[in-house]
Structure 1
Amino acid sequence: MNWKASISILAIIFSLTSCVTNKELTYFGEKETDEALIEQSIRMNEKPYRVQVGDLLSISIKSTDKRLVAMFQPVAAENAAGIQSEQSLYYNGFTVSKHGNIEIPILGKMNVLAYTLDEIEESVKKKLLDEYFNKAEDLFIVVKLAGLRFTVTGEVVNTGIYTLFQDRVNIIEALASAGDITTVGNRKDVLIIRQYPQGQKIHHIDLTSVDAFDSPYYYIQPNDMIYVKPLKQKSLGTGTTLVQSITTVVTVLSLVTSVLVLSRNL
């Protein structure tokens, strides 16, 4: 083996052992962007969520007539702060059926598919006023998603199924729940697998670019699955930091040197 071949081998080694760059680890890029444009993009993406099949709704009915309210609402276990547990919400919430309906005691079935939460509130309130209650001021309705449930898997610190009790959750908050992306996770191409009436669809978002704020997938939806692919550095088993890369190079150099010495002695 001559010196030219050795140089070629070393060049290949250096290309394979390149560490993960700061650019690959930085969210939303390093270029200057008008903050006003970013805020505008986020506001444009904040469209009201429309209910889908499989969603779990929490419907709270309050009135001065406690006895009448009890007819329409199941008794739910609450903690000392008056907050229902996730398990309690699962058993006492209202699941949207495959036909897009929920069934409220006494009121019966109501179609809520593709409705916003505000629209469902108005529908429930109107039906109660038309058939049971007398005064609008005596009736208060609150409809919320019973937790926003999603799955995070791939190159994150803690994979798993998470539930956040918020009206809106962006992808950064979702990833933070899983401990964030690891140093060998691909932030440039994060996959979001979303549920639709026709089935599942895969979407892509680049979290290293400020264009992520413009993405319709910046805000996640119930039952989304977020998958973070590994960078090539992991699949090759090479260093992810400069120190690790140098260690790998030194190890391989020692191997090449040994091979050269042995080949000359043969």
Structure 2
Amino acid sequence: MKNLCLFLSISTILLACSPQRDLVYFSNLSEVANSRVKSDTELRLQKNDQLSIAVNSLNTEYNVLFANSSSGSTSNTNVSTGKASIKINSNGAINLPLLGEIPVEGLTIDEAQQLITKELKKQIKSPVVTVELVNFKITVIGEVNKPASLNVPGNQVNLLEALGMAGDMTVYGKRNNVLVIRETNGVRNMTRLNLNDKNVYDSPYFQLKQNDIVYVEPDKSKEKEFSPNNRALPIITACISAVAVLATALIR
């Protein structure tokens, strides 16, 4: 009878055990570490990006012309400020009054701003150009508390910030295996990042880009917990515990 009780007790413990989860980000960080953001992580403009471009100059006629222009994919305009919303076309360019097509694909926001200013100086006096990306969007799905497609204010967001915007990972999320999907020049690239490792900062995928998709995979404990084959596990465990208690009482 004692052997039976011992067997039942061990069985209960084994059934109750679950894999240990490492829920700590950068768990191998033992001291303060400094690192620089790599230059190749800076946002680059892509086809179909929507830009907000404001032009102010001493030539008020051009300001009005720019705001009223219907060339290219200009959709929303503001005449008083010379501001327009323009989409980068399939050629990777934008269409501007007097200038025609200006190739901006692959440029940073600052580089695009400088290029437009340089070209406008050939036509008008003292142009001041401001360029903003208005459709910076990322998608976070999987084991997060608020999966969603997120509009990002500004032009920069990293993986941790994106997870924070999605309510952080659930306890089932694999912190050592986060998938980032990125499409560049028609090529879809996928990589997995380990958020338990401080070296994740060195990955060019840690700094997210427009239209990136972040997928947080569930760990095996959730698969087991929600598997149809394991739905009776709590009942079985409870029965074994009851039998163990009863057997102990009978021995006494």
Aligned Cα root-mean-square deviation (Å): 3.2
Structure-2 separation of matches of 1:45 and 1:154: 30
Tell me, yes or no, if the aligned pair for 1:190 and 1:227 is still in contact at 8 Å.
yes
Partner residue of 1:113 out of 102, 105, 118: 105
Aligned length: 230
* Over 6 Å off, 4+ runs: 258-261
Q: Does 1:93 align with 2:91?
A: no
Contact 1:73 1:105 in 2 (8 A): no
Inter-partner Cα distance in structure 2 for 1:29 and 1:46: 26
Bigger helix fraction: 1
Residue in 1 that maps onto 2:23: 25
C-alpha distance after superposition, 1:20-69 (max 9, x if no partner): 4xxx221122531342xx333xx335743221222222211112333321
* Unmatched segments (≥5 aa) in structure 1: 85-91, 239-247, 262-266
Counterpart of 2:164, as a letter, is: A
Kept in 2: contact 1:100–1:112 (CA 8 A) = yes
Match among 24, 39, 42 for residue 35 of structure 2: 39
Q: Deviations over 1:209-243 (max 9, x none)?
A: 111111111110000011111121211117xxxxx
- Partner of residue 175, structure 1: 163
Does residue 53 in structure 1 map to residue 41 in structure 2? no
**1:210 has 2:202 as partner:** no
- % identical equivalent positions: 26
Distance, in Å, in 2 between the alignment partners of 1:113 and 1:46 is: 15
Equivalent residues in 2 for 1:135-146, closer than 5 Å: 135=125, 138-146=126-134
Report if aligned partners of 1:102, 1:109 keep a CA contact under 8 Å in 2: yes
* Larger relative contact order (Cα-Cα within 8 Å, sequence gap ≥ 6): 1
Shift of residue 251, structure 1, vs aligned partner:
5.0
Q: Distance in 2 between matches of 1:259 and 1:101?
A: 75
Distance 1:68 1:98, change over 3 A: closer
Of 63-72 and 228-237, more deviation after overlay is shown by 63-72
Counterpart residue number, 1:254:
238
Kindly state the Cα deviation for residue 156 of structure 1 after the two structures are TM-superposed. Answer: 0.9
How far does the alpha carbon of each residue in 1:141-169 deviate from its partner, in whole angstroms, 9 at most, with x for none? 11221142111111111111111121211
Change (3 A) 1:255 1:216: same
SS at match of 2:146: coil
Q: SS of the residue aligned with 1:93? A: strand
Unaligned runs of 5+ in 2: 69-75, 227-231, 247-252
Question: So what's the TM-score if we normalise by structure 2?
Answer: 0.77
Alpha carbons of structure 1 residues 45 and 128: separation in structure 2 relative to 1, 3 Å: closer
What aligned pairs does 1:218-257 form with structure 2 within 5 A after superposition?
218-237=206-225, 251-256=235-240
What is the CA deviation profile of residues 176-229 of structure 1, one whole-angstrom value per residue up to 9, with x for unaligned ones?
A: 111111111111111111011132111111112111111111110000011111
